[in-house]
Amino acid sequence: MLTVVPERATTVRYMRRGSSRTRQRILAASMHLFSREGYPRTTVRNIARQAGISDAAIYYHFATKEELLREILNTRLQSDDRIAQPPLCPGIRELVHEAVREMTRVIEENHELLRIILREGLAGDPVAACRYGQLLDDWESRLGGRLLRFEKAGVVTSGEATSLARQIIYAIIMAFEDMLLLRPDPSMAPAERRLKALVFLSRQIDWLLSPTCNSPAPLSGVAVTVDGRKRSL
């Protein structure tokens, strides 16, 4: 038996689907422009042009530009769950470098969102600053939990697992500071900039771990694409 769906109900469902797609286009355009131009320099008209819609369509979904920023700041980081998976590595260097690889992937896959969080947090936006603090606390908790067993084994100085985790996380963010905060150097290809950041990061991590480890171990296994070819550190 065929069920007749009222025309009005069909129309409402279609409008909702279209409305949801438009909302996602607005958010995508806003994230791109806030990341590239900065929140203060981006106008609603710029966002509408980038999304291919009218200004009125944006105000239908978001009352203000600030509301748009709040929605973006609450966006969940992609691939964040991968950090929570414990690596199958017995040594502290292997464990830390595995965590660094996963955090590096999260940064690269979410660079637009993280750039907005950092820029607006430094500019004094309380929501962005809170989001940044939550991100650091979350990464510190996960990495610190892994390092705790080395502290209990006497490999890491007693009471220093959390501090070491925070220093490692700061090193990761600093390595990608130019990608997240500054306008990139046009003379250097993006893949080369990533490679440079990863080399710097490898040295920083080894320096931080040197008091607890006897032999150096470079950050390896991080694949980057240069001139269409994959390269690993």
Model pLDDT for residues 27-44, shown as the tens digit of each residue: 999 999 999 999 999 999
Average pLDDT across the chain, whole number: 79
Superfamily of domain 7-73: Homeodomain-like (1.10.10.60)
pLDDT at 16: 42
pLDDT at 107: 87
3-state helix, strand and coil shares in percent for the chain, rounded to the nearest 5: 65, 5, 30
d(CA 86, CA 20): 36
Is 14 a residue whose pLDDT tops 70? no
228 Rama sector, left if φ>0, alpha if ψ -120 to 50, beta otherwise: left
Q: Are 64 and 39 in contact (CB under 8 A)?
A: no
Domains of the chain: which residue ranges? 7-73, 80-232
Is 212 a residue whose pLDDT tops 60? yes
Angle between helices 111-122 and 65-73 (to 10 degrees): 120
Model pLDDT for residues 139-177, shown as the tens digit of each residue: 999 999 989 989 988 888 888 999 999 999 999 888 888
pLDDT at 66: 95
Q: Which is more confident, 227 or 29?
A: 29
pLDDT at 20: 85
Q: Calculate mean pLDDT across residues 173-183.
A: 77
pLDDT at 85: 53
Is 104 a residue whose pLDDT tops 90? no
H or E stretch covering 226: strand 223-226
Model pLDDT for residues 57-102, shown as the tens digit of each residue: 999 999 999 999 999 999 988 765 555 555 555 688 888 888 888 8
pLDDT at 221: 47
Strand partners, 231: 224
Is 12 a residue whose pLDDT tops 60? no
User: How far is Cα of residue 178 from the mean position of the Cα atoms in its chain?
Assistant: 14
d(CA 45, CA 65): 10
